[in-house]
Amino acid sequence: MTRHFLTLNDLTPTELDALLQRAIELKQMRAAGERYEPFRGKVLGMLFEKSSTRTRVSFEAGMAHFGGSAIFLSPRDTQFGRGEPIEDSARVLSRMVDLIMIRTYAHETLETFATHSQVPVINALSDMYHPCQLLADMQTWYEHRGSIRGKQVAWIGDGNNMCHSYINAARQFGFKLHIASPANYTPDAKLLASHQDCVTLTNDPLEAASGADLIVTDVWASMGQEEESTQRVLDFKAYQINNNIMAVADNDALFMHCLPAHRGEEVSADVIDGRQSVVWDEAENRLHAQKALIEFLLK
Ligand code: CP
Ligand code: NVA
């Protein structure tokens, strides 16, 4: 059966743990200058309906390290953007490449694509989830602090795709997640309801941050919500991660952000550029974690 990676739930907790260990190993191999090219001649198709810096470069570089290659596709220059059905695009592309990653709007687009694909499909961000980022975040946590099991994580900000993937991660990696979001920006109600054992919701950022081992946030307006930006800046004003928030977290708490960040909005410059921030490791680990994912799906 073809395995896909549309959400973190597509892998078991045991598989996820093994994948992180492999990511750490691949990172060490690269640092040692070791050549490892198990996927010569293999091709990754990359379909981007939204902008990207980290995701595109990490997937493309990862395939190059492995001896394979990647093809960048956007709606502007493919029939996908001119209304060719997703099902047909999936049937055609998956006869030509070995693996496909998609960054899109509706999560259903990914599900439909995967249903009709002969090869593994990776979610490189949808409006609902961003599971690849969580692999990198969990690797980063592990490298700095060891196991995240039983730890306390605070998500402060929009109940968006990243927040939803943190909800899945709480169950899959065994941590407690405390979410603080403004009333009209809370995460998906069904997802929350099915994770009551490991996730809480408040609208008080200090309450969520209190005693946390890890503080995480993301932009206030995600891709596709640009026209709401002005209103969102007003609605999220009290949710900035700054020294007042970090002061109530554990003294050794880490700060993460998937990037791109807006200093002075969701995070103050002194926090993102400060001693507790691990955002650059987090960004680099996109490369190593996704290489481990590619290897898992292609082997
Ligand atoms: N964090 C992340 O996915 O970054 P890009 O949008 O640059 O890919
Ligand atoms: N929530 C953000 C994440 C960007 C990597 C967005 O969807 O735009």
How much is the pLDDT for 246?
A: 98
Domain span at residue 38 reads 8-129+285-298
User: Could you tell me if 181 and 115 lie in one domain?
Assistant: no
Q: Which ligand is closest in space to the CA of residue 133?
A: 1
How much is the pLDDT for 262?
A: 98
| Closest residue CA from atom 1 of ligand 1 | 258
**Helical segments of 146-188, H only:** 161-173
User: Could you tell me if 235 and 137 lie in one domain?
Assistant: yes
Are the CB atoms for 26 and 78 separated by under 8 Å? no
User: Could you tell me if 137 and 262 lie in one domain?
Assistant: yes
2 three-class SS? coil
**Mean pLDDT by groups of 10 residues along the chain of 299 residues:** 97 98 98 98 98 98 98 94 96 98 98 98 99 99 98 99 99 98 98 98 98 99 98 98 98 98 98 98 99 98
219 three-class SS? coil
Q: How far is the CA of 219 from the centre of ligand 2 (A)?
A: 7
User: Could you tell me if 44 and 95 lie in one domain?
Assistant: yes
How much is the pLDDT for 23?
A: 99
Q: Which ligand is closest in space to the CA of residue 287?
A: 1
Q: Which residues line ligand 1 (CB under 6 A)?
A: 52-55, 125, 133, 258-259
The verdict on residue 3 lying in a domain is no
Rounded to the nearest 5°, which phi and psi values hold at 197? Answer: -70, -20
Are the CB atoms for 107 and 113 separated by under 8 Å? no
What does DSSP say about strands 43-48 and 199-202: parallel, antiparallel, or unpaired?
Answer: unpaired
CB-based burial of residue 126 (10 Å sphere; 0-12 exposed, 13-18 middle, 19+ buried)? Answer: buried
The verdict on residue 268 lying in a domain is yes
The verdict on residue 95 lying in a domain is yes
User: Could you tell me if 137 and 278 lie in one domain?
Assistant: yes
Rounded to the nearest 5°, which phi and psi values hold at 70? Answer: -135, 145
CA neighbor of 195 nearest in space, from 223, 235, 234, 155:
155
How much is the pLDDT for 197?
A: 98
How much is the pLDDT for 6?
A: 99
Counting the structural domains of the chain, the total is 2
User: Could you tell me if 268 and 137 lie in one domain?
Assistant: yes
How much is the pLDDT for 136?
A: 99
